[in-house]
Structure 1
């Protein structure tokens, strides 16, 4: 059973914002002749790396709820120029939309067990065409 991470997607108003930002960053890296990989730098290094890399994802909280995920493909600890230990969480660039699941804000990331992770929209049989506000309301009413 895979282990996941969950984190706030700071600065994004929507999943589309996240997708656009990823595409922009990958394009900038390609133009600069760098490896076109998507990663997020964090201060803390997960201790359960093997479990996370065994099919785990990072679930993004956007505007008060989990709305999407990205599959983790590598975790790379490093020391920055100031001597501070950091970590790069490397993802597949594809953003997979999930069922909307309400979450309160918190700092950093947290582990998320498979049983607590929201289902992918495609796997849940939910219509992706439903607007977010309608999906959110139907979820809160227990209809999705």
Structure 2
């Protein structure tokens, strides 16, 4: 039986280890900015390169779990393998723009997993670090708790 390869968009989901909130993720990634084929990019690291990279590069994103909830996503720009003293690593090349998503609870796990686009939380707005402290919207954790309780 032939293997079916699809280039439909697919996503990854990954735990943002040690990250307190979306502003913290933004600050960490801002320190990793670099030029990737003429575009500004940032990155995250993982041990293994996703095998379904065609779908990831065709409109796919990485969704970040922060404090037990999916809270943000970033579009994929590419992948680069690098050899280190600890062995090979895959650099996930990401668009530096963070899209806030409707916070959704998710259990922790190691590494990354594929995320079915039908199960991805909806986008809210792009994260703006200049407005984050002045944001008068409901905190993401409170909104998620109310959503989980069926109140919003």
Answer yes or no: same fold by TM over 0.5.
yes
Alignment gaps of 5+ in structure 2 = 1-7, 126-134
1:70 corresponds to 2:74: yes
In the TM superposition, what whole-angstrom CA distance separates every residue of 1:36-87 from its partner, at most 9, and x where no partner exists? 53111210111001011000000000000100001111012232245x2221
Q: Shift of the alpha carbon at 1:131?
A: 1.2
Greater Cα offset, 113-122 or 2-11: 113-122
Q: How many residues align?
A: 133
RMSD over equivalenced CA pairs, Å: 2.2
Q: Equivalent residue for 2:98? A: 95
Q: Equivalent residue for 1:2? A: 9
- Structure with bigger helix share is 1
Q: Equivalent residue for 2:53? A: 49
1:109 corresponds to 2:112: yes
User: Contact between 1:68 and 1:97, CA under 8 Å: does it hold in 2?
Assistant: yes
TM-score normalized by structure 1?
0.83
Work out which of the residue numbers 7, 18, 22 in structure 2 matches 1:11: 18
Alignment gaps of 5+ in structure 1 = none
- Structure with bigger strand share is 2
User: Contact between 1:58 and 1:70, CA under 8 Å: does it hold in 2?
Assistant: yes
